[in-house]
Copies of this chain bind each other. A is one copy, B any other.
Amino acid sequence: MAEHISKQFDLELETIRTRVLQMGGLVEAQIVGAIDGLMSSDIAKLDKVIAEDALVNAMEVSLDEECQHIIARRQPAASDLRMVITVIKTITDLERIGDEAQKVARMGKTILLADRVHMPRFREIQKMAEVALAMLRRALDAFARLDVAGALDVARQDRKLDEEFDANFRQLVTFMMEDPRAISMSIDTIFMCKAIERIGDHAKNISEYVVYLVKGKDIRHTALEDVERIEL
């Protein structure tokens, strides 16, 4: 009987872990869809991303409630409890990533429909999105395989993403100063880059939860150099 219950519990934990990865796959697709929609001027693709937000939100609510049921019913201790709490926090960050992808899609749609003379610099947005997407995939992979090294990689990539944002930003301010007609376009580009940068922040949050989960050590708020020293 105890073994049966224990196997059921293992199955429940495995199920929520799988559902987290499914939710992760969905928001990854939203990011890809938003960028593809921009680059190919495909309004239908952007609309699909916008519509998917409701599904992402529903997954968050459902998974959150399932996690609380598991805690109440199975009364997990120590590392199993940390796993479930990690899932609760991770799905919040995934839902926020989906929100940012939706914002990029909405902003892109508004811009494309306005048929403006000066178009935003989608290429810069695409390059940042590639980095953010890689960070998200690595964070989810680190979660799936409980891989601390992979999780720490994400923190490194976040610096790279912030540097790309700063570089894009300085470039856009220069454009605005050279040509006031480019101001509106530049502002739109900055806001879309900011949304991508926040996706990277959320991916970094997820990777930090993974390190805490595996090491029982909270590295949030610990400088990257200190963490790397701990790992050696």
**A106 located at the interface, meaning its Cβ lies under 8 Å from any Cβ of chain B in the complex:** no
Whether A230 sits at the interface, judged by CB under 8 Å, is: no
Contact of A48 with B by CB under 8 A: no
Inter-subunit contact B187/A57 (CB<8 Å): no
- A54 CB to nearest chain B CB (Å): 8
How many chain A residues sit at the interface, stated as a range, is 20 to 34
The answer to the question of A88 belonging to the interface, with a C-beta cut-off of 8 Å to chain B, is: yes
Contact at A183–B194, with CB atoms within 8 Å?
A: no
State which residues 43-78 of A face B: CB under 8 Å. Answer: 54, 57-58, 60-61, 64-65, 68, 71-72, 75-78
Question: Assuming A173-B183, A194-B194, is B89 touching A218 (CB within 8 A)?
Answer: no
Which residue of chain B has its CB nearest to the CB of A88?
Answer: B85
Interface residues of A in 193-232 (CB under 8 A from B): 194, 218, 220-221
How many copies of this chain does one complex carry?
Answer: 2
A interface: dominant SS: helix
Interface residues of A in 175-203 (CB under 8 A from B): 176-177, 180, 183-184, 187, 190, 194
Is A146's CB within 8 Å of the partner chain B?
A: no
Check A134 for interface membership: any CB of B closer than 8 A: no
Minimum distance in angstroms from A222 CB to a CB of chain B: 9
Asked whether any CB of chain B lies closer than 8 Å to the CB of A41, the reply is no
A177 CA to B54 CA in the complex, in Å? 38
When the two chains form their complex, are residues A65 and B180 in contact, meaning their CB atoms are under 8 A apart?
A: no
With A81-B72, A85-B68 already in contact, the answer to whether A183 and B187 are too (CB < 8 A) is no
Whether the Cβ atoms of B220 and A57 lie closer than 8 Å is yes
Cβ of A157 within 8 Å of any chain B Cβ, yes or no, is no
Closest B residue to A65 using CB positions: B218
Give 13 CB contacts A-B under 8 Å: A57-B221, A60-B221, A61-B221, A65-B218, A68-B81, A71-B71, A71-B85, A88-B89, A89-B92, A173-B184, A177-B180, A180-B180, A183-B183
Q: 11 extra interchain contacts, Cβ-Cβ under 8 A, other than A92-B92, A187-B190?
A: A57-B221, A58-B221, A60-B220, A61-B218, A65-B218, A68-B81, A72-B76, A89-B92, A173-B183, A183-B183, A194-B194
Q: Closest 8 interchain pairs by CB?
A: A57-B221, A75-B75, A61-B218, A177-B180, A72-B77, A176-B183, A72-B81, A177-B183
